Amino acid sequence: MPNEIAAVLVHWQIAPRRLRDEMYRAPTPRERERWHALWLLSQGWSAAAVARAFERDPHSIGAWLDDFRRHGPAALAFTHTGGPPPPSTRPGRPT
């Protein structure tokens, strides 16, 4: 796995150190988790070990890596896709 992630980082011109930096800068917990997973993979962790550490399915870790391989850093962005809107965007209630 380290060689695989190394090749992806070279392709997207991302230094391994940037993975760790992005992990701390990511705006949402989900994005931090995805950057952290990639950083751990780059450190030699297997997808199964990362999955155990994050209590995720190994296929999720593989999907994050695959998305990153195809679409680069933009693939790690989190987009809210369900549930009610945050309280700040809900229409005001009549009082």
Mean local confidence (pLDDT), 6-25: 92
Mean local confidence (pLDDT), 3-26: 91
| pTM score, whole prediction | 0.79
Of 75, 49, 74, nearest to 63 by C-alpha is 75
In sequence order, what DSSP letters do the residues of 58-88 get, joined into one string?
HHHHHHHHHHHHHHGGGGG-----SSSPPGG
Q: Which two tokens stand for residue 55?
A: 């209590």
Note whether 41 and 51 are within 8 A (CB). Answer: no
| Cβ-Cβ contacts under 8 Å for 14 (sequence gap 6 or more) | 73
Mean local confidence (pLDDT), 86-90: 63
pLDDT tens, position by position, 28-85 = 999 999 999 999 999 999 999 999 999 999 999 999 999 999 999 999 987 766 666 6
